[in-house]
Chain A
Amino acid sequence: MVGNQVERQKILDIRNLRIELKGRRERLAVVDGVSLSVSQGETLGIVGESGCGKSVLSLSMLGLLPKAMEINGGEIWYGEREDEAQPLHLLKPKELRKIRGREVAMVFQDPMSSLNNSLTIGYQVTEGLRLHLGYSRQEAAAQAIELFRKVGLARPEKLLKEYPHQLSGGMRQRVMIAIAIACNPGLLIADEPTTALDVTIQAQILEVMRQIRDQDGTSIVLISHDLGLIAEMCDRIAVMYAGRIVEEGSVADIFDRPRHPYTIGLLNSIPSPSHKGHRLHSIPGAVPALHERSVGCNFAPRCQYAMECCRIEQPKLSPVGFGHTTSCFLVVEEGVRKGDNRNTADRAEGTGEVLYETSVAAEGTGAASR
């Protein structure tokens, strides 16, 4: 990768991470050679279809992988300062517990099931404060009220004694965020934080997260399948496909200069008013199952530009612009042919346009043949 984000300290640095399913003869990788980094105060979006490994990746950052999976290769480093970076992939459970909730916190997808129904909201929020910061009951309760205010919950005092079932979905997700930010973590991981909520509430929850980022300088990893949401919140976007990162760049890179056919497919699938009356584009096929993944590019079977080399060899993530990388032979070949970096970018933009049109055309024929 080119030296992007040079001035800012990396708070999270994932290097060539491989997560496998345990106890099988053939080693199936759920996450395969992922490298990512998040800088202080930065918001990174990870986008991809269901089953691409983005949730597993996020759980690995907390050492919370399901029992059936294990890290087999690669590194995860976390630290607010370089000299105190800790290798999360090596830590013992006890050491990991000190980081969870204190340094790295997580907001989960479904606020209806992610809270414990038989404990009060107050207890669930103050638990972390008492554990990590050694607060007394009263101190923790006072801090919890502050947190409730911060995430925009009304009547915070009363909330302490209430139970999750008494709250709406949006309120519960605010509570989840309050729990996550309770100990003022350096990194907040939000795995599909708004998927289970309706649209108006989604906007409110995003606003809360934006405020936290701006006020506390918390770095955020936002995981979603919703590109629109990612675009609204994030500084950088990593597009994940079948356990690998296929493209990474700034929001502008991804939206204005997408290079990977998969990214382009995703962008084409966003409904927009100008496309009213047209059939919404969808990428044909589905994410290959773990055992169907090949040595080559995993997107090749669904890619209309797939070449011979795509099926034999895995394209490497290569720079196509400043801080913009992609793993596609098509794009890399362009770069090699032109030999000039700047021209490549222009050229690529052109390719992007062409891709967009052809994909629409392809979809047209698809519909006709149906």
Chain B
Amino acid sequence: MNYYARRLVTLFLTVLFVVVLTFTAFRIIPGNPALAILGTEASNEQIALLEAKLGTDRPLLVQFGHWLGNAALLDFGESLRFSEPVLKLIVSRVPVTLSLALLALVISVCTAVPLGILAAKSHGKKWDALISIGTQFGLAIPSFWMGIILILVFGLTLRWFSVSSYVPWSESPILALKSIVLPAVALAIPQIAVIVRYLRTTMLEQLNLDYVRTARSKGLSERSIQYIHVLKNALLPVITIVGINFGELLAGSLVIEQVFTLPGFGSLLITAIGNRDYPLVQGLVLLIAVTVIIINFIVDLSYRWLDPKIRLK
């Protein structure tokens, strides 16, 4: 089997595992969708009736098989809470969360790479120390708190960004971007700290290697040694971290969306969990899992470009 086929199989198995896990976990924890819809005043007959209607009275395995079969055809069922198809609900929220996570990713990589290089360049000097202190703070400060501070400073005091008024991308891309910049920055800050530290360490390691001496002996400037020779080697472990952290970025955006009241996955997922809206929870978790797995796959592919030694066989 070639590399891609093997990757696909593992990908499929991972997704299946995630689905089984969410399915069983949500059936085990206390709570009941019918009860959540009808309220605590409902009679037993009413609940039984609704359960039959929702299909939650059937054996677990039957429910699971049913759901899986439909999911394979991209039918994730209907939300118990909103009485709308899960897919439609999710799709309407995708632009918010995805653009938020991607913007945070772009911000973190674009800031962290130059900062990491700067820190490595000025190893043991002023900038290195400053960046080191800065990354300490970045790691220590929770992003939701950072979000609140950002709202306070840039939204309410300076009034640079509108707060708590999300504009869809389809309406005005500029306003939409404006409404997600602050949450993206809040999300990016801990990521920046992690990437800077990683890049600094790997750059410093690389700078001590023999090939750097060879590059110097050719008469290359320190600049081209750092940006061409060292950076390409130093990026490999950094890419791994960025890829792994993308999942964290998605998870973080669920929280940050609450702080900034953005209509993304976060609010949807939290409502769904509170209401024991099984189909919606499963659909969302499945989507997030698949996204993370795909990102990791892209990371693996990028190794090939960075390190020619890695043969994808």
Contacts and interface: CB of A to CB of B under 8 A. Distances in A.
A64 B211 contact: no
Given A98-B219, A132-B219, A165 B214 contact: no
B307 A101 contact: no
* Interface size range of chain B in the complex: 20 to 34
Interface residues of A, number: 29
B229 A119 contact: yes
Interface in A112-147: 113-119, 127-128, 131-132
A106 interface: yes
Contacts of A179: 214, 218
A97 interface: yes
Contacts of B232: 116, 118-119
A98 B218 CA distance: 9
A129 to B, nearest CB: 10
Nearest to B234: A118
B13 interface: no
A251 interface: no
A100 B221 CA distance: 11
Given A110-B210, A118-B308, A165-B308, A97 B219 contact: yes
Q: Which among A98, A110, A118 has the highest number of chain B CB atoms within 10 Å?
A: A118
A115 B218 contact: no
Given A116-B229, A118-B232, A62 B211 contact: no
B309 A117 contact: yes
B218 A117 contact: no
B88 interface: no
Contacts of A108: 210, 213-214, 217
A117 B308 contact: yes
Contacts of A99: 219
Interface string B75-114: 0000000000000000000000000000000000000000
Contact of A97 (B211, B220, B307, B308): B220
18 contacts: A105-B217, A106-B217, A114-B214, A115-B211, A115-B214, A116-B214, A116-B215, A117-B309, A118-B232, A118-B308, A119-B232, A127-B218, A127-B220, A128-B219, A132-B219, A165-B309, A176-B214, A179-B218
Interface string B206-226: 000111011111111100000
Interface in B175-199: none
Contacts of B217: 62, 64, 100-101, 105-106, 108, 180
Nearest to A93: B222
Q: Which among A99, A105, A106, A114 has the highest number of chain B CB atoms within 10 Å?
A: A114
B219 A64 contact: no
A102 interface: yes
A118 B218 contact: no
Given A64-B213, A108-B213, A179-B214, A117 B307 contact: yes
Contacts of B210: 108, 110, 113-114
Binding site secondary structure of chain B: helix
A356 interface: no
Nearest to A189: B217
Contact of A131 (B209, B213, B219, B306): B219
A79 to B, nearest CB: 17
B130 to A, nearest CB: 22
Contacts of B29: none
Contacts of B132: none
Contacts, number: 73
Closest 10 CB pairs of A and B: A100-B219, A101-B219, A101-B218, A113-B210, A163-B308, A116-B211, A97-B219, A106-B217, A128-B218, A114-B210
Interface of B: 209-211, 213-221, 228-229, 232-233, 306-309
A292 B46 CA distance: 94
B228 A119 contact: yes
B242 to A, nearest CB: 18
Contacts of A119: 228-229, 232
B24 to A, nearest CB: 45
Interface string A79-100: 0000000000000000011111
A179 B211 CA distance: 12
Contacts of B306: 118
Contacts of B233: 116-118
B5 to A, nearest CB: 26
A118 B307 contact: yes
A280 to B, nearest CB: 31
Contacts of B228: 119
Nearest to B210: A113
A108 B216 CA distance: 12
A163 B215 contact: no
A91 to B, nearest CB: 12
Given A176-B214, A179-B214, 16 more contacts: A64-B217, A97-B221, A99-B219, A101-B219, A102-B219, A108-B214, A113-B211, A114-B214, A117-B309, A118-B232, A119-B228, A119-B229, A127-B220, A128-B218, A131-B218, A165-B309
